Amino acid sequence: MRKLAFALLAGVAFGAVTTAYASDLPARMPSKAVAPIYAPIPFTWTGFYVGANAGWGWGNGDGTVSIGGATGPVSGSGQGFLGGVQAGYNYQMGSIVVGLETDFKGSTGKGDLNFAAGGVTGTGTGKTPWFGTVRGRLGYAIDRSLIYVTGGGLYAKSTLDGTLSTTGPFSSSATGWTWTAGAGVETMLWDRWSGKLEYLYAGTGSNVPTAPGVTAVSGHAHTNILRAGLNYHF
């Protein structure tokens, strides 16, 4: 009986000591969840865009005209403001960006023209009320900036109003094609907006307005276009 009582007392005492020891151990602190780390999405030029542009054009040309079997010189020069809209699509592969762009714009461009052949002289004022281009683009992207070259076709409406020494006033018009090439730089300004500066050179047109009695015109025209634009990217 004494042994049983001693065993019970020892068990109670051991439990008390164990409990007291456990109460001295530091409490386990709850662990905090680690916030996930999100990698930033890399910028890409891929996608459609639309925008507007404005600038200045200037040019000159010279050649020969044929009137009544005789030939003589023709020359002219002009300049003017231009402005319009553009739309296109880019596709980026690494640092290389390829794309297609078309634009259409109105123009105040006009210039003076003089010619003479076979005793007939003429003067006139040429105008280009509107024109447009369809071009490919090839560029190199430096993060949010793009350096590119561009080339394709240019179509335009041209008019010519003047006076011949033999028959008096005349007026004519024509629509034709030519090639164009150039280069530019574009950079993102805000979230979806980019700004660009572009230069284009255009060659001699396939069809030009002429004066009555002129049977042939040959020569070279040189047109320069410098414009700035703003694009919205979808």
Report CA Rg, the chain.
39
Residue 26, pLDDT score: 53
> Buried b vs exposed e over 132-146: b needs ≥16 C-beta within 10 Å?
bbebebebebeeeeb
Which residue carries 């240019």 as its tokens? 154
Within 13 Å and on the Cβ side, how many CA atoms surround 227? Answer: 26
* pLDDT at residue 17 tops 60: no
Residue 68, pLDDT score: 83
Burial of 103 (0-12, 13-18, 19+ CB in 10 A): buried
Residue 102, pLDDT score: 98
Burial of 129 (0-12, 13-18, 19+ CB in 10 A): middle
Q: How confident is the model at residue 125 (pLDDT cuts 50, 70, 90)?
A: very high
* pLDDT at residue 113 tops 80: yes
* pLDDT at residue 90 tops 80: yes
Q: How far is the C-alpha of 170 from the C-alpha of 211, rounded, in Å?
A: 7
Residue 177, pLDDT score: 96
β-partners of residue 50 are 87, 232
Q: How far is the C-alpha of 200 from the C-alpha of 228, rounded, in Å?
A: 12
Q: How far is the C-alpha of 79 from the C-alpha of 34, rounded, in Å?
A: 65
pLDDT 10s digits, 27-59: 555 556 666 666 667 899 999 999 999 999 999
Which residue carries 């447009």 as its tokens? 132
Residue 122, pLDDT score: 93
Mean pLDDT of 207-217: 88
Mean pLDDT of 6-23: 38
Residue 36, pLDDT score: 66
H or E segment at 87? strand 70-93
Domains (range + CATH), the chain: 58-233 (2.40.160)
Residue 39, pLDDT score: 63
Q: For residue 180, which amino acid is it?
A: T
Least-confidence region, from 21-25, 112-116, 166-170, 179-183: 21-25
Q: For residue 123, which amino acid is it?
A: T
Identify the DSSP state of 16: H
Residue 6, pLDDT score: 35
Give the predicted TM-score (pTM) of the model: 0.80
Residues 6+ apart with CB under 8 A from 215: 66, 67, 68
Residue 153, pLDDT score: 98
